[in-house]
Amino acid sequence: MWHSIEKKEVFQLLKSSENGISEHDAALRLKRYGENEIREIFRLNPFFIFLQQFKSVFIFILLFAAAFSLVIQHYIDFAVILAIVMINSFIGFFQHYKAEKTISAMKEMLVPKVRVLRNNKLSEILSSELVPGDVLFVSEGDKVMADCRLLHVNELETNEAVLTGESFPQKKTSEKLAIGVELADRENMVYMGTTIVKGNARTIVVSTGMNTEFGRIASLVQKLKIEKTPLEKKFDLFSKNVALVVVFAALITSMLGILRGEEIFDMILTGISLAVSVIPEGLPAVMAITLAFAIGRMHKHNALIRKLPAAETLGRTTVICTDKTGTLTVEQMTVTELYCNNMNFRIENNHFLSNGKRITPSRVKELMALLKIGILCNNARIERDHGVKILGDPTEKALVISADKAGLLKKEETEREPRVIEYSFSSKRKLMSIVRKTDRGLISYVKGAPDILLKKCTRELVNGRVINLTDNRKKEIHASYEEMASGALRVLGFAYKKLPSKFDQNSAENGLVFVGFQGMMDPPRKEVKSAIRDCINAGIKVKMITGDSLLTAVAVSNMIGLDGESIEEHELEKLSEEEFNDAVRDKTVFAHITPELKLRIIKQLKHQKEIVAVTGDGVNDILALKEAHIGIAMGIRGTDVARDVSDIILLDDDFSSIVKAVREGRRVYDNIKKSIKFHLSANCGELIVVLFAMLLSMPLPLLPLAILWMNLITDSLPSLAFTVEKEDSDIMKRKPKNPEETILHGIWQFIVIAGLISFLVAIGLFALFYQADLAKARTIALSVLVFCELFLAFTCRSDKPLLKIGIFSNKFLIYSVLGAFALQLIAIYTPLSAIFGFKALAIGELLVVIAASSIGLIFFETIKSIRSRN
């Protein structure tokens, strides 16, 4: 409401005045309204971060198994299981905690002090002490620390991209506005978190802290429930299913043994041992380490992962909803097109082009005159302290840079032609002029809105001569302006005039000589076009959701190859629910979108079963960031509140970094599935061997302690080797995984077949030997299962033949398999054999075991080779 009432009424409602409030009144208001700060979005403390690591059903099963191992005095197994659980938990904890510490370190420092008028005296106070009713002064470079109504304005412009998504500076006024004006168009207000880019103003604070627009959106985040990632959901379901199998297997084994007259305690112990063996307890650690390694690799690509599962979820993303300003674009106004002498010029890669050919700008006098006016009618200043820094309005900075590319330096030109007087820009005139003293006398340099400036021009600079400007020629020039503007360029016109010694503003800004136009925009980042193409090839849809205008959004989308239909906020709002659903699915560019509408779009995409990643930097983005499966905040220009609710932070704010992180995410998912395939295929064989022997009243092929030993050496280092497995070469040419598929999709057939092969080989050799020598038969059966698992580790690496991906490309796997093989031999041929009930094998018997164990590897590699040829 503050924008729609007169200043006097604002003072009355806030019980304040032009002179501000008293210190006593300020103290009372501080107690009433609280400190002027945004309450930090709820973040877990270290203890709760650690507890979060134990939420998986799988972890509960393992903890139960560890506890039972302790009860039955199997201390080694207890220690191993507990160690794996703790390693998994500490990896998750330290990664999360490290990310939080990194975020804290990179928080932007807000302006600690502000200038207010209290008791008609100018004072400096902490920004946290601001209260409604304070008269606050702001000027160029300041960050606004509260929501304020403007009282007196001097050429004020603000950057409100953090709140509205609009990339162009917003010109401000102190005049009363209509009631229904949208936030982005409230020219008589400045808001917390935005920045003053030009001018200064006296304001009155109307809202502080959580009552500001910034705070209002931040508070909405508290109401959003944090959902588990798809990987967490799938792994929870997988864990529950494994739990059912484990309990069922343990009960059946124990009951069958008891029914056939075995000792009750021994059979309970066997059932528990088999259950522990079936549980792939190394898998949580493998998942955590796989994710941790991926996070390290992603960090090298400037993507900071705050939550372990987010690394994998990004690889499953089907839709990326990205904002425009700063993510797809460089967030820096840049002159890209110029018009003068009835010709168009472009600036690309710091070079000037005409008709697509590179030119030397100094050889085109009219072009140099255009650029010169751009820096002489300009208040941007250059500071050369530890490098070159240009300060001022983004538009004027762009003009200085465009001239610099042509070899025109502002400092030299302004020293050569000192300023006499400036007629500042006003929203009414839409012009700015600076009169300068030159060797040729006084010259007025003018820039402004093209249609206004053209009306004040009577002549034109063409081919080095000043000629009269006819009405028809004005129409031609105006058509050129409209053509530039249709490309989403912000266009300014430039003119000049020689003045007599006595002049006034009217004479300085009329009867001008038209020189040309400069068109500028916030250009796309160089890497974005190829990154968009990579996304399309990977089957990932990219949607631009921006607060900018439709014209600007469409122009940028065309430049970066983001093809598709576009739609604006007001059109979306008119649609029925079914039409809205269709628009969200089919449209590519969404322009002038409010935070609430962006949130609705994200919810609709999730309803369509998409895996949604959303980028954002400002408070206007945090609702969508938190609602999405993956919230991606900007590390450089992002607000603290946006980073706090995100899953991933782009340290370089570059969209192309997302695509690199997607590649790593897909690698993570592939490697986790390889590890699951490896674990379950071997464990499946163990389970079938024991159950089959029970059903046929055969002696137990595997004793409890031997089962635990096998579990220890096979489910540790070999399974960890999958964490460093390289990605397939076509990983970014595949479509995203179906969000509905289970974690066993595409691998359960392998698990069953591999388990059956291991079972047949193990039970066959056991049946061959057990009547003659039961201890040796048990040693052979267990060794077969161990060696089968080690051989299967190689074929689990890829769906491509092993010879194509390279047998030795994963050296860690080679070393871990050799290590596990050596440990099994040590257990057979040393005094350890007495502990596990093993018996030394003859060399011939050992070779038979090794040869038989390789059948699974040979079978699967043969199948893969046949498929690769077809």
**Could you list the active site residues?**
323
Coil/strand/helix, residue 598 = helix
Decide: 276 and 711 in contact? Cβ < 8 Å: yes
d(CA 827, CA 820): 11
d(CA 576, CA 704): 64
Unique residue bearing structure tokens 């050919």: 357
The angle formed by the CA atoms of residues 285, 540 and 799, to the nearest 5 degrees, is: 50
Q: How many Cβ atoms from other residues are within 10 Å of residue 628's Cβ?
A: 29
The region, left, alpha or beta by phi > 0 then psi within -120 to 50, assigned to residue 670 is: alpha
For the residues of 405-467, what is the DSSP string, one character each? HTT--HHHHHHHS-EEEEE---TTT-EEEEEEEETTEEEEEEEE-HHHHHHTEEEEEETTEEE
d(CA 809, CA 861): 17
For the residues of 512-553, what is the DSSP string, one character each? EEEEEEEEEE-PBPTTHHHHHHHHHHTT-EEEEE-SS-HHHH
Which helix (DSSP H) or strand (DSSP E) does residue 336 occupy? strand 334-340
Q: Provide the residue count of the chain.
A: 870
- For residue 136, which amino acid is it? L
Q: How many Cβ atoms from other residues are within 10 Å of residue 178's Cβ?
A: 8
Which helix (DSSP H) or strand (DSSP E) does residue 158 occupy? strand 147-159
* 148 DSSP β-pair partners: 190, 205
Report the largest interatomic distance among the alpha carbons of the chain, rounded to a whole angstrom: 123
DSSP state of 870: -
Which residues, other chains included, contact 425 with Cβ-Cβ below 8 Å and sequence gap of 6+? 155, 431, 432, 448
Q: How many Cβ atoms from other residues are within 10 Å of residue 108's Cβ?
A: 11
For the residues of 711-773, what is the DSSP string, one character each? HHHHSSHHHHGGGGPPPPTTTTSSPPPPTTS-TTTTTHHHHHHHHHHHHHHHHHHHHHHTTT-
Question: CA distances (Å), 762 to each of 580, 755, 786, in order?
Answer: 60, 10, 10
Which residues, other chains included, contact 619 with Cβ-Cβ below 8 Å and sequence gap of 6+? 162, 163, 193, 213, 214, 217, 218, 639, 641, 642
DSSP state of 39: P
Decide: 804 and 741 in contact? Cβ < 8 Å: no
d(CA 181, CA 172): 14
d(CA 472, CA 463): 19
Of 69, 150, 233, 43, nearest in space to 643 by CA: 43
Decide: 510 and 391 in contact? Cβ < 8 Å: no
Structure tokens at 381: 């200043």
Decide: 290 and 672 in contact? Cβ < 8 Å: yes
Exposed/middle/buried for residue 400 (C-beta within 10 Å: 0-12, 13-18, 19+): buried
d(CA 869, CA 234): 34
Q: What share of the chain is helix, strand, coil (3-state, %, to 5)?
A: 50, 20, 30
